[in-house]
Amino acid sequence: MAVRDQRLIGRLWYALARSAGVASGASVASKTDLATVCTVWSIGMDPLVAHQRAQDTFAHVLVNVTSDQLSSPTPCPEWDVKALIGHVIAGNRRVVERAGGQVAPLPEDVGAAHRASAKAALETFAAPQALTRTYQLPIGELPGTAFIELRTSDLLAHAWDLAIATGQPTDLDPELAEYVLAFSKEMMSHPGLRGDGRPFGEEQPCGDERPAADRVAAFLGRELRRDQ
């Protein structure tokens, strides 16, 4: 299978599995007829470069977070700032674990912990055959090309969440944000991903003049404040 085919099918596996409520470890292919939705292709950006830029974007926001903001709420209702940062760091560590590597102890400082976990995730994805092999995720197996793009999207979205929660600008790496927005629109071309009990909320209003990261957030269902 061509790499671009793996990338698209991996995306659809993830999205359709989540929308269908596939249980952890289940075979997505057994639940969904992917042939009916394989009609769009990834836009061009080196996935390793995109992932590096997403890590850098998150780090750029994180460095400005103060200790008194760690208990502040975020656009993700289940997480405060501290928990959101922990989620991103844990996601980086799971990249290493799912590749069969051993995670190293992390520094107590959250900035240093993110840098160390980001470096480990980047090195894992940059290893030979890392993007052509498959990874076992809770939803089933995904090719590396899909796994890295899911991580890139997650990092950018949570960088935006962190910026909102701590009163920082949300004009985050416009080129990367356009890449993530295009990917998200491809994924959302399949019906049934939005709404109650679905992975994403309904698209929220956001003018075309807004920064690309704002448009990503609104497209994925995050409500923008009037003062944003």
* Cα–Cα distance for residue pair 38/154, rounded to 1 Å: 23
pLDDT, tens digit, for every residue of 191-200? Answer: 666 777 676 7
More reliable by pLDDT, 116 or 34? 116
Residues 149 and 47: beta-carbon distance below 8 Å: yes
Residues 211 and 172: beta-carbon distance below 8 Å: yes
pLDDT, tens digit, for every residue of 100-144? Answer: 999 999 999 999 999 999 999 999 999 999 999 999 877 568 789
Element (H, E) at 149: helix 144-165
